[in-house]
Chains A and B, each alone.
Chain A
């Protein structure tokens, strides 16, 4: 079943248009990678999906319902979890408070709670009374993901989770995201770290200048070095 079906969206910030008819879809349980250099529209695609920057044209179907133009909090409540770039933990709230405000039961079997979140990210339990602003980058990234999980989403929009993290932390994060995927969570993953995306994703899209230039499997990308050279290397 197609969970998320984005078709032909155009999105602009004020007068500068960033997306020129992007179409992507995510099937239930799939991890889909969004690849592309800085500024090609990966974050804007995510912000268009969750309503922070609504598209001016095109449609965003979430579980067969049109959500383009809906309020961000309504989209979030219907199961779209957003883990933004630069993490954006609430710096003045403790780890526990960060988790608590995101808590939302959506009547699913086996819902997330603190205990389960701590089991996936043990470090967060150690620092649960520490303010978000005093965590390391890796811990903040874990907290942002954990925070979204507390809302029991059906999909996670993960924007550049590995950005600025040490290689060892990135490896650990990759395992944790893989665990989430194995549990059946659908994921849309925007990344510049090629191996990170290719290892995790079932399918990938490559974006350039606000358009989809390539759609295929991670194997396709690996077997076509010219793709990487053309669209991804700086």
Chain B
């Protein structure tokens, strides 16, 4: 199959585009994990909500110019608001508890959201149509490629660059990195770390909503779509290194490419491949590709 350059190119592009969409979601997960030390099981459910809310908003905004884009932004904002409620009323009371409480709590959220989605949108498969201007394919020289998938790739890269800039080059980003390293010390310097945590949770969850909304036209919306995505995001975060944004980027690309070429080369083993990749990475770098070994 590698002797067919056009096919290889298309699979390469598919892998990158899938990887970039996964990155947007995994970036939120790894940000929350790195700063709050909370492994948010519900992150996939947030992604699913993003997709469904986008579906409803597209209907609501039908006829408006750029309605789809309003729906995408609206989904991210809706998830931010939802995360704000979750954090301020519930999650913040669990930070000082054992990790088990946080896991149970976010797992409960998964169940609640899953039922809410069934209740509100039903169990039928829903789909969002591609936005105007992104329905066709673009000539990339080697072959034509779906324009919307190019856009997904571009969005992933845009999110990656924005996040890198925010975390490393802005003062707010410095607070985020400091909160990740020593919460008490940052608090002692007069910073309201509780607010930093809340904003990180809100921003990370908004990314899940954004990822879900952007994916909506490219996938089908169905209950259970969250389970697949959360497993993939966990693998990305583990491969890349817990809490590492750069690691999530590399991990998402690897997973995207492996899935797209795996389907082509050994379709029967495609599902196993990503776990195999995780095992191999963990054998040689238990702390992930760009993570750091635990001190002591």
Contact = CB atoms under 8 A, between A and B. Distances in A.
Contacts of B191: 73, 101
Nearest to A157: B188
A115 B192 CA distance: 26
Contacts of A148: 189
Interface stretch (A28-36, A58-66, A76-84): A76-84
B49 to A, nearest CB: 33
Nearest to A83: B188
Contacts of A48: none
B181 interface: yes
A39 interface: no
Nearest to B186: A101
Interface stretch (B86-94, B123-131, B171-179, B261-269): B171-179
Contacts of A97: 174, 177
Given A52-B184, A100-B171, A92 B177 contact: yes
A227 interface: no
Most chain B CB within 10 A, of A82, A90, A93, is at: A90
Interface in B265-280: none
Nearest to B189: A102
Secondary structure call for the B interface? helix
Contacts of B185: 84, 88, 90
Nearest to A144: B185
Contact of A104 (B181, B182, B190): B190
Indicate the member of B184, B187, B189 with the most A CB atoms within 10 Å.
Answer: B189
Nearest to A82: B188
Contacts of A50: 188
Nearest to A53: B184
A73 B181 contact: no
Interface in A17-41: none
Contacts of A84: 185, 188
B182 A151 contact: no
Of B180, B185, B190, most A-chain CB atoms within 10 Å: B190
Nearest to B295: A91
A99 to B, nearest CB: 10
A108 B35 CA distance: 33
Interface string B201-219: 0000000000000000000
Interface of A: 50, 52, 71-73, 76-77, 82, 84, 88, 90-93, 97, 100-102, 104, 147-148, 151
Given A76-B189, A92-B177, 5 more contacts: A76-B190, A93-B177, A97-B177, A101-B178, A101-B189
13 contacts: A52-B184, A52-B188, A71-B192, A84-B185, A90-B178, A90-B182, A93-B178, A97-B174, A101-B178, A101-B186, A101-B191, A104-B190, A148-B189
